[in-house]
Structure 1
Amino acid sequence: MIYLDYQATTPLAPAARDAMLPWLNDRFGNPHSPHRMGREAAAAVELARMQVAAPFGDGGRLFFTSGATEAINWALKGLMAAAPPDRRKLVTVATEHACVLDTARWLEKMGYECAILPVDRDGRVDLDTARRTIDARTAVVAAMLVNNEIGTIQPIAALGERARAAGARMVCDAAQGYGRIAIPIEHCDAVAISAHKVHGPKGIGALWLRDGVEPEPLLHGGGQEYGLRSGTLSPSLCAGFGAAAAVATERMDIDLHHAAALRDRLLVALGPDWQVNGGMDHRYPGNLNLRRDGVDAGRLISELRQIAFSAGSACASGSGRASHVLSGIGLSDQQARASIRLGFGRYTTEDEVDRAAVLIEQAAARQWEWA
């Protein structure tokens, strides 16, 4: 199997697997228990917290969550609930992940105001529109660092500056960016991340909060995680996340260069019939969202079972709806349904990219021949 779906999830790093195994065997203590096994587990959790939080520097705290979806829900619902009565507005972007957009819709039902910023053909927000929209009534601005479908990098620093000038909090969904590119942390108040996007285990993520930023809790119970996020932590998942984060931080430049080289190779191999969705500038290189007119992406995926790739977000797979991201950048439903997403990274080889390009091109040519 040639795996080209790195935006959906990434292969587990060997270092992460090794870090997890002891906590799945005889070192199974609850990290919130006072005895020796509990203290050992708690120490492993705190080491992992330091490893994951290292890229954020000083001036904040990192809270483990079940994933980026929980982290985003907590940040948005919690910060909106904690905002003063004259700030009832959330500003976000049309191409955000469903965890942001669906939370925004829920907040609207709760009586909050939500403003959705459009994007241009490259998938980037217009900063003039953003500046006009982010006003004195705004409590939270939420934007994704790297888009999960087309790889567009949003101007988080500029959005964060505007949010701060208006007295609002800046929430960044960095699930696709953490460990891959630098996060403009100085312009953020809350950052959501996920382990399985950086070669860590599934089922764990984190929310980084700047000092002084304290959303209302989303989960209530035993008061774990500084009293703000209840629930027993898994030392195994935390250790795996920590190890994966440490490797990603160390290898960021190497991995970025490798992804860029694979992208260039893949574009050449597929040829001029394939068009890139979204701009090539301000884009994470490990993502290629491509379309070829007259091709049915769903049929392509079902025919090429020796390649793992997708037509968009794994979270929206099977919905039957055209991608809201591709619609947001101006593509028609027909163009969106002719689009595929190829994601690659650290463990993808040049040979895999070459073989995948041949198979994809052959399958697309057959569709044209039989049309």
Structure 2
Amino acid sequence: MKDKPLIWRSVVILSAAALLIASIAILCTVLTPTIVRTKNGNVSILTWNLLAPMWVDRQAIRSRGIINMNLLNDEVRLRMVADRILAQAPDILHLQEVEEETFANLTYQLSSIYSPVVFAPNVNNYWIEYLRENQTYTKNGVATFFKKKKFSLLSHRTFQTSSQGNVALLAVLRWHRCFGVNSDLILLNCHLETGATQNKAATRIKQGNTIMEEIENEISRNNEHSSVAIIAGDLNTQSPYPGYRNFKKKMLLDAAEEVSKAPIPTYYNELPVAISHNNVTEWSDWVSIDHVFIRSVDKASGKIRVSSVNVPAIDSEDTSQESYINKLKRIFARDAKGSMPVKHVADKDQKRYMASAEDIAHEELKESKINRVLRLGSDHLPVIATLQIV
């Protein structure tokens, strides 16, 4: 009986030791910065040029008799943009032609789901030469947002892609631990030089080179952790043009081509331009200038693959190539001389759309649909790529 206190003391000591060991194990698990994570994760990235308000020539629009367009009301237009983003709910947003007020507005409207990285405006009054006399220059640039329930922001920085003042935004995101995905995301959001001259094309090549240098530098800095790089934005180039070919030379893969899609039209041009697919070049008045690129080395290593690339449906679920083009022409119909819809063309498009809008019962909804079709919140269509990351 005298040994019982000794036995109980031993039991207490052993229990305390076990509790201490378990506590240390838990603490180490919490504090350890690295963990083996091998699950796959799907990430969807939307890139969209939002049409900076300063480019909207209200006087020209009114002179053509089009006075009931959402282009004339920036707040209404941004609500349309925010609603479309929230309806699609992509994981990452790459937005171009964002003004400071636009950034603040969207940050507020999207705050329940998204966190902003930063607003990165161009410098040196970039693109001011394209303004008309009655327009006022406002700083605009790019902005990146991400789902705060899915990622945390590790770092970001902005840099000039050209001496003229074009700025790109690089951000590094890490998946939250619960998703079990190993690779960090190195995201590059950019809006490259516009224009069809040889000089402009040469500028886009230089911008592409600068972008790839920055990405390679970031990968080197992040070499202790697996990462994949994604470039998404308004590149103002398409196959077979030099800027696009330069990205391919840099061992980048166009996400749309990865899923065997023909170039997706995202912008309606005033004049026909060449567009190439499967070694066939045609002339078209629609262009595919908004892209998502991945690195071929990331694909080869099995760290990333493209699941799908789509433009969100405009007025139906039909995502065929012919449907895209027809919808794009209905939305962005233009005359040969100007850059805005002419009234008689707009009227014709309205009647054409109304004839197919059988599901709309009320006149006020029809009017709303007409405005939405004339301008879908921007003069560009959004592109969404879904990627699988390891």
Same fold per superposition (TM over 0.5): no
> Which has the bigger relative contact order, CA under 8 A and spacing at least 6?
1
Structure 1 length-normalised TM: 0.28
Structure 2 length-normalised TM: 0.27
Which has the greater radius of gyration? 2
Which structure shows the bigger proportion of residues in strand conformation?
Answer: 2
Which structure shows the bigger proportion of residues in helix conformation?
Answer: 1
